[in-house]
Amino acid sequence: MLLGQKRILVTGGAGFLGSHLCRRLLNQGHEVLCVDNFSTGTRRNIEELISDPRFELLRHNVTFPLFVEVDEIYNLACPASPIHYQFDPVQTTKTSVSGAINMLGLAKRLKVRILQASTSEVYGDPIVHPQTEDYWGNVNPIGSRSCYDEGKRCAETLFFDYHRQHKMSIKVARIFNTYGPNMRPDDGRVVSNFICQALLGEDITIFGRGEQTRSFCYVTDLIDGLDRLMNSPEEVTGPINIGNPGEFTIRELAEKVIALTGSQSKLVERPLPEDDPKQRQPNIEVAEKLLGWRPTIKLDEGLVRTIAYFDALLREHGKKITSETRVRADAFV
């Protein structure tokens, strides 16, 4: 291997964020071992990477131990969209908790640095706004989102206990809503839903009144933040918020998507899911200070790029993707 070149494990590497991360690491000259069980990831996301001799793919479920030799680990494996993580909630908690134990165990044996993809969901339905890293959150432990929220919270606990107990080198990123190309049309998260609905001329499904807020980060900014965190000084463990502080209501997002696509779609209200957080906005002062990071892509620009991606995807599939096929869009796997 060349000087500075590392062998890097990315769990969840065939997913939305993981596929962008794999590409970035390959572009930097590293070798990448992508581990994924393809529960929500797709071959399509990594098909361009397969021909690269420095890219290796292993189908594996992180709830089982993994024996490989690598220099660094990014632990991203976990479904991130509410409809997907609630499909098999027990598996979701196992993925976060047993997956963290297995990947931390691997990092401990190899004495390598490990980064955890945590989430703004650790703040639950936040009372502190914007959310700072020292806020402990407002989380329901027994609701339908708990498999994800509490699983991710327990994973953070494990990372910090391994750090204290075994002196391991850890990094914890709290990722806020991120969007962009390589999301599945049936991902179920709001940006991909609204764009596909607008492009297909279907109703845009606003859950509740659409007054709840989210802050949307474009994927390239997010990946840059993860890279900077992984390569930050040893004492920078996080947790660090990585997200775009621009805050929008869901109704504002829907109106933007309609305007940018020129769609005739209508906005329709649907029941608000249980425990849906009312507001979410990252305070990113820590990331700015310790990582020199701040997002650069505004929502309109990111949406235009994402619309172009879904437009091409829908054309490729001959507009066969409808709401019905999207819920089981095997065509994209």
State which residue, 192 or 263, has the beta carbon closest to ligand NAD.
192
Among 41, 82, 181, 302, binds ligand UDP (CB under 6 A): 82
Among 9, 15, 191, 283, binds ligand NAD (CB under 6 A): 15
Among 33, 39, 125, 293, binds ligand NAD (CB under 6 A): 39
How far is the CA of 52 from the CAs of 7, 29, 223, in angstroms? Answer: 14, 11, 20
Q: Please choose which of ligand NAD, ligand UDP, none residue 250 contacts, taking the beta carbon within 5 to 8 angstroms, the exact cut-off set by kind.
A: ligand UDP
Q: How far is the CB of 239 from ligand UDP (least distance, A)?
A: 18
DSSP string over 218-266: EHHHHHHHHHHHHTS-TT----EEES---EEEHHHHHHHHHHHHT----
Contact call for residue 273 and ligand UDP (CB under 6 A): yes
Look at residues 171, 300, 306, 304 and name the one whose alpha carbon lies nearest to residue 244. 300
Question: Which residues have CB under 8 Å from 233's CB, separation 6+?
Answer: none
Catalytic residue numbers? 148
State which residue, 198 or 206, has the beta carbon closest to ligand UDP.
206
CB distance 229 to 306 below 8 Å = no
State which residue, 102 or 193, has the beta carbon closest to ligand UDP.
193
At residue 138, φ and ψ (nearest 5 deg) are -140, 85
How would you classify residue 210: left for phi > 0, otherwise alpha for psi between -120 and 50, otherwise beta?
left
Contact string (CB under 6 A) for ligand UDP, positions 233-272, x = contact: -----------------x----------------------
The DSSP element (H or E) to which 158 belongs, if any, is helix 146-166
C-alpha angle 23/28/30, rounded to 5°? 85
Among 275, 276, 285, 311, binds ligand UDP (CB under 6 A): 276
CB distance 314 to 200 below 8 Å = yes
**Rounded Cα distance, 157 and 223, in Å:** 23
Contact call for residue 196 and ligand UDP (CB under 6 A): no
Q: How far is the CB of 250 from ligand UDP (least distance, A)?
A: 5
Among 10, 73, 77, 196, binds ligand NAD (CB under 6 A): 77
**Rounded Cα distance, 194 and 178, in Å:** 14
How far is the CA of 187 from the CAs of 68, 86, 182, in angstroms? Answer: 30, 12, 10
Q: Please choose which of ligand UDP, ligand NAD, none residue 249 contacts, taking the beta carbon within 5 to 8 angstroms, the exact cut-off set by kind.
A: none
Site for ligand NAD in 116-175 (CB under 6 A): 117, 119, 175
Among 10, 16, 186, 196, binds ligand NAD (CB under 6 A): 16
User: Which residues of this protein are in contact with ligand NAD, per CB under 6 A?
Assistant: 11-12, 14-18, 36-41, 61-63, 76-80, 95, 99, 117, 119, 175, 177-178
User: Which residues of this protein are in contact with ligand UDP, per CB under 6 A?
Assistant: 81-82, 177, 189-190, 193, 205-207, 212, 214, 250, 273, 276
